[in-house]
Amino acid sequence: MNQFEKTKESLLKEPRTWLVSGCAGFIGSNLIEFLLQHGQKVVGIDNFSTGHQYNIDDVLEKVGGMAANFRFYEGDVTDYAKCMEVCEGVDIVLHQAALGSVPRSIGDPISSNHSNVTGFLTLMTAAKECGVKRFVYASSSSVYGDSAELPKVEERTGRLLSPYAVTKMTNELYGGVFARTYGMETVGLRYFNVFGRRQDPNGAYAAVIPKWIASLLSGESVYINGDGETSRDFTYIDNVIQLNVLAGTTANPEAFGEAFNGAVGGRNTLNELYGLIMEKLQGEMPEVSRIEPIYRDFRAGDIRHSNADITKARTLLGYEPTHSIEQGMNESIRWYIDDIVAK
């Protein structure tokens, strides 16, 4: 039995109270669904700037009677009084709330900083004041900047390339300081291109996988930035859920004040990604084979290649990815077909 299986058993035996910020978003809603399904009490907060009420509704429908263990607050993590309210009685925080997207941060650095830095510090301070010992937070692979080293190892980063990357590196600096100064058990998770069910395909800052799948399902063109040889460590949502839960429950003091790569440890180019999506979709909808991608300019602030070394998470947290990109893509496409085509 691996560490995650042991942890799931312990959750059912010893329920805790978890706060998930950004609970109406893609990752946050998947986290609250997992926690409720495993007998936990969950508090959620979201201001709906990027999240959606229908994500919460979907979770509560799926968990049935366990929905009684969920308490939701509409509010902003930059509101200290609201953060104090939601942190009361909480054992573990999983902080997901943020304004994502490198291009968004380049276009509006002030809003990104307000949400991602001020909001982060406000919630973590409130958690400290309320006696919350464990604070797990979403960082990003963008903190590796222009480092050409592959795979990416946590201890070595490059020059940052976007305001978004600056906000996430600032989170990590604060996380380390709160661990050393206040004794908080902080753990940062550097997400690498997470994808899966409930990831929003709409909007100017939609992630590449849901945007491409939705476009293909609708018979629309797909755009690839640059030459298509940009590569990423695409990571399925179930791997990220596992990592959050392990970080939230680990008894290993060496993990506190640290940041960990949240990835599967693989690498696929955008061209390979497009081919994989087409392969999976054609079995369901043969007509998509007629759609050819359109190449356009590289996107400002993007790193060229991304591939994570997950040794540190394996060693200190007991993390073992359960889904490859192929397995995750099978599940994701099934979900999008059911969600988009069926409706």
DSSP annotation string for 151-183: SB-TT------SHHHHHHHHHHHHHHHHHHHH-
- Say how far apart CA 339 and CA 343 lie, in whole Å: 6
Contacts of residue 92, defined as CB under 8 A and 6 or more positions apart, other chains included, come to 16, 17, 18, 19, 132, 134, 135, 136, 248, 249
Let me know: does 93 contact 77? Beta carbons within 8 Å. no
Residues in the chain: 343
- Say how far apart CA 257 and CA 254 lie, in whole Å: 8
- Terminal CA-to-CA distance of the chain, rounded, Å? 40
Nearest CA to 207 out of 185, 192, 221, 220 is that of 192
Helices 208-217 and 270-282: crossing angle in degrees, nearest 10, is 40
SS3 content of the chain, % helix, strand, coil (to 5): 50, 15, 35
Alpha helices in the chain (DSSP H): 3-13, 26-37, 53-63, 80-87, 102-107, 109-113, 119-129, 163-182, 208-217, 237-249, 270-282, 311-317, 325-336
Active-site pick, 137, 164, 174, 336: 164
In the three-class reduction of DSSP (H, G, I as helix; E, B as strand; rest coil), residue 72 is classed as strand
Q: Is 223 one of the annotated active-site residues of the chain? A: no
For 138, 239, 296, 301, the CA distances from 305, given in Å and listed in that order, are 20, 21, 18, 12
- The single-letter DSSP state of residue 262 is E
Q: For residue 202, which amino acid is it?
A: N
For 77, 116, 316, the CA distances from 109, given in Å and listed in that order, are 18, 10, 34
Catalytic positions:
164
